Chains A and B, each alone.
Chain A
């Protein structure tokens, strides 16, 4: 694909925005990049998805290293959940061959709508747990106790160190598994599922969930990126400005995430999930001839 200076600037600047937002939310930013590449820059959908997936790795490398430096990421928890996610990604690839993908878009859309409600209703949960110290008083389950999953981080917005004990390994693993299926099937990073699972069901503070998800999505995206790379769908001239932009954006995002109140992060996160749920439902409904407009749709 031939690129011009305008094309480069459009891709680069929008990728900075996507990388920045992705670092704040613990997601890859594909839900922003794919519509921009297809609708505004005229890139074919498969090439856009391939570039977006590869750029998720760039944002994970930049965001993940930033949060590791600030010691917010829980590395052991990330390794634990990566097992379920990877198995899910493999299952997703197999399911994609057997089932109608439109039905799966609908299923994921409904699941995301449910998560939107869950996250919105829990928007004040972190502050309440900070006040009561509940993050550090939870009882570990057998698995998290065996793996000794717990940690602490300095919350810059609250101005104090927060200790937490991880539990809920079963619901966390199940949702991480579905995040993997979503990644293998639909070409998304699955960060929205992972952040929701850790924060709501595993007693992990929102900021640790964001940092840990950011760290994890690189591996999931690498699996999908290899597939696109092997299929010859990765256009280096589309990927280059996007990867550079998301790297810069994610680096900027990691510098400010810890200074934002968890409640405000969750409100922004709710908006992102709701948008993704709408996109998936709209995509799924096209199978029945129902055409609802959405960004990135044909």
Chain B
């Protein structure tokens, strides 16, 4: 039986970690003159991951509830 709480927790933690890491990396690149050109694409990727995280967690929640045969909640 899928632990819905646990599955959603990991989706949010992974999304948060990747997006925060990319935001920090993008800002660091901006601060270093020779790497400045890489700053914007990295920050763009961070924003995409950030926005995608709650969407993915909604999908994972629906799948987890379905696996648990709790279709009414999903």
List residues of chain A with CB under 8 Å of any chain B CB.
Answer: 3, 8, 54, 57-58, 60-62, 64-65, 68-69, 71, 73, 75-76, 79-80, 82, 146-148, 218-219, 221-222, 225-226, 229, 234, 236-237, 239-241, 243-244, 247
Contact = CB atoms under 8 A, between A and B. Distances in A.
Nearest to A82: B58
A73 B12 CA distance: 13
A242 B69 CA distance: 40
B16 A241 contact: no
Contact of A244 (B4, B20, B55, B74): B20
B54 to A, nearest CB: 4
| Chief secondary structure at chain A's binding surface | helix
Contacts, number: 99
The 10 A-B pairs at the shortest CB distance, nearest first, are namely A218-B54, A236-B43, A65-B12, A61-B16, A68-B9, A76-B73, A240-B23, A219-B54, A222-B54, A61-B12
Interface string B26-63: 11001000000000100110110011011101100110
A57 B50 contact: yes
Given A79-B61, A80-B73, A243-B23, A68 B8 contact: yes
Nearest to B73: A76
| Chief secondary structure at chain B's binding surface | helix
A79 B8 CA distance: 12
B15 to A, nearest CB: 6
Contacts of B58: 82, 219
Contacts of A222: 51, 54-55
A153 B31 CA distance: 45
B26 A236 contact: yes
B47 A147 contact: no
Contact of B73 (A57, A147, A236): A147
Contacts of B20: 58, 243-244, 247
B47 A236 contact: yes
A54 B51 contact: yes
9 contacts: A58-B20, A61-B50, A65-B12, A75-B4, A76-B73, A218-B53, A219-B57, A219-B58, A241-B27
A252 B3 CA distance: 25
A221 B30 CA distance: 27
A219 B8 CA distance: 13
Contact of B16 (A3, A54, A62, A69): A62
A225 B48 CA distance: 10
Interface in B5-26: 5, 8-9, 12-13, 15-16, 19-20, 23-24, 26
Given A75-B5, A76-B73, A236-B43, A3 B30 contact: yes
A180 B42 CA distance: 31
A243 B22 CA distance: 11
A237 B23 contact: no
A146 B50 CA distance: 34
B45 to A, nearest CB: 10
